[in-house]
């Protein structure tokens, strides 16, 4: 019974963590685009985006990441079910994707810090592509958890690459449509 409560809390904070990651990068896109606007519009927009980024990052995203990790650790190391899952090969692959998620989060934090100083080092197009990183990681983790198979993860990785290519093609199509409508 305790395991299900911990699992529910873990899932809630994973969802809010991903929501924060998806939206923060979207704000990075808007920030980069605001940098191209004329004054005083640029200053007004950037100030607002910096405030929104700050609140999202420190009130939702970071606390969600910490709490999702806390409940995952509790679930894996202090419950019988978790100890069993740790012996499964698919869980090792899943944890590798979770490590990749942490690296993605840390890189987002670096970008966040730069943008808080209004140092825009990337284009809005870069951020649009970067935003898909969390989507790809999410797909990989969800499929691993649902399928619970280390053998099927090979097919999953192939599927992720195909999915990534489709996202890139969709992005290029969207970019063409946006440029055509300007």
Give the residue numbers of the binding site: 10, 94
> If we measure between CA atoms, which residue out of 108, 128, 112 comes closest to residue 53?
112
> If we measure between CA atoms, which residue out of 25, 11, 156 comes closest to residue 69?
11
Give the residue numbers of the binding site for heme: 10, 94
Sign, CA torsion 93/148/154/127:
negative
- Write b or e for each residue in 73-110: b if 16 or more Cβ atoms lie within 10 A of its Cβ, otherwise e: ebbbeebeebeebeeeebbebbbebbeebeebbeebee
**Cα separation of 74 and 66, whole Å?**
12
Helices and strands: H and E segment counts in the chain: 7, 0
């Amino acid at each position: 019974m305790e395991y299900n409560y911990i699992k529910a809390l873990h899932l809630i904070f994973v969802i809010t963590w991903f929501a924060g990651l998806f939206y923060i990068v979207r704000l990075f896109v808007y920030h980069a685009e605001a940098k191209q606007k004329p004054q005083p519009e640029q200053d007004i927009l950037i100030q607002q985006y910096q405030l929104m980024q700050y609140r999202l990052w420190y009130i939702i995203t970071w606390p969600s990441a910490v709490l999702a990790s806390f409940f995952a650790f509790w679930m894996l190391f202090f419950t019988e079910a978790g100890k069993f899952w740790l012996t499964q090969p698919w869980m090792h692959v899943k944890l590798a994707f979770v490590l990749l998620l942490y690296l993605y989060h840390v890189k987002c934090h670096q970008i966040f810090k730069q943008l808080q100083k209004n140092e825009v080092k990337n284009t809005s197009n870069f951020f649009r592509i970067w935003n898909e990183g969390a989507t790809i990681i999410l797909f990989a983790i969800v499929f691993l958890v649902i399928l619970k198979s280390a053998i099927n993860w090979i097919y999953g990785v192939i599927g992720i690459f195909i999915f990534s290519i489709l996202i890139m093609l969709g992005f290029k199509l969207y970019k063409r449509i946006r440029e055509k409508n300007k």
